């Protein structure tokens, strides 16, 4: 576990986790660290925009979430946002004379083997999600994780709990922005996070874009899940997470909703460190 402040998990300290993504920072308190085949439990989740959060936001959240000593585990795919978060926490620690330690979570901290050609390039969020998914999947069946965010990923976890790789495609907001920025006349359209797309045919340009993104995302993800099931078997656990999961929810019958999946995986790094 790489460190931004010394020391490992200390009994009695609050344990906090941060999932720093391209669009949002998700923070939570670990109410139960889990262990021995048991998934952690998190509470007091708070989301901030990765680009626009202010140090005051972090200070206010910490005041309620961890008024005493704490360890913050940070898993990040957005280095600039993670650095700003860590600086804000360090400032609170210094100005309020509170022991707030921080650690960056690395792939080696998570109890999952990454079986791909370039394991060092796999996002820590995907590995954390795989670690938690492997723990909840039925024994010997494996899992498929659909994570809909800025990017949408469909990842496969083997029956032995190994990360096998998967597929990556743009999320709905990124698709909408690409159309607006990559063309001269197509307008910006708000991404659909929960509502059904317009019925075909779209009768305005905005409706046509919303239909293309909404129905296209559903079709793409459903097909990728079908391909994953063809490899893993029909018994694989299907898990859905991510801030834009509502876009594809109705296309994935039987999926298990786990909005805190990545945070739970990050929390598993602390349980692993305590066991060393």
Query: How many angstroms separate the Cα of 111 from the Cα of each of 70, 141, 175, 189?
Result: 23, 18, 33, 40
> Is beta strand 24-32 parallel, antiparallel or unpaired with respect to 41-49?
antiparallel
| CB atoms closer than 10 angstroms to residue 98 | 16
Q: Where are the beta strands (DSSP E) in 77-183?
A: 100-104, 143-148, 151-157, 163-170
Please work out, in degrees rounded to the nearest 5, the angle formed at the alpha carbon of residue 111 by the alpha carbons of 239 and 49.
55
- Nearest alpha-carbon partner for 21 in 258, 263, 187: 263
Residue closest to 137 by CA, chosen among 43, 261, 11: 261
Residue 213 CA to residue 171 CA, distance in Å, equals: 9
Catalytic option among 19, 109, 125, 147? 125
3-state DSSP assignment of residue 118: coil
Q: How far apart are CA 244 and CA 174, in angstroms?
A: 11
* 195 among known catalytic residues: no
Rg (CA), the chain: 19
Active-site annotation, residues: 125
């Amino acid at each position: 576990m790489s460190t931004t402040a010394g020391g490992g998990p200390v009994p009695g300290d609050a344990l906090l986790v941060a999932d720093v993504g391209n669009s949002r920072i998700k923070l939570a308190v670990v109410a139960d660290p889990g262990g021995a085949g048991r998934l952690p439990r998190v509470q007091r989740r708070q989301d901030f925009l990765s680009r626009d959060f202010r140090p005051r936001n972090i200070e206010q959240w910490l005041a309620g979430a961890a008024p005493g000593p704490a360890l913050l585990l940070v898993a990040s795919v957005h280095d600039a946002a993670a650095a700003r978060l860590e600086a804000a926490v360090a400032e609170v620690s210094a100005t309020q004379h509170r022991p707030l330690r921080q650690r960056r979570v690395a792939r080696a901290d998570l109890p999952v083997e990454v079986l791909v050609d370039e394991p060092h390039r796999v996002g820590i969020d995907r590995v954390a999600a795989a670690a938690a998914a492997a723990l909840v999947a039925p024994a010997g069946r494996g899992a498929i994780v659909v994570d809909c965010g800025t990017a949408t990923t469909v990842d496969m976890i083997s029956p032995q709990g190994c990360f096998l790789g998967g597929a990556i495609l743009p999320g709905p907001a990124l698709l909408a922005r690409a159309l607006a920025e990559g063309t001269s006349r197509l307008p910006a359209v708000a991404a659909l996070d929960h509502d059904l797309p317009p019925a075909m045919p779209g009768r305005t340009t905005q409706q046509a874009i919303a239909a293309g993104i909404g129905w296209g995302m559903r079709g793409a993800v459903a097909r990728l899940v079908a391909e994953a099931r063809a490899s893993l078997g029909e018994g694989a656990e299907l898990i859905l997470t991510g801030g834009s999961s509502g876009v594809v929810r109705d296309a994935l019958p039987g999926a298990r909703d786990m909005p805190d999946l990545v945070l739970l995986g990050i929390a598993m790094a602390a349980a692993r460190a305590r066991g060393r």
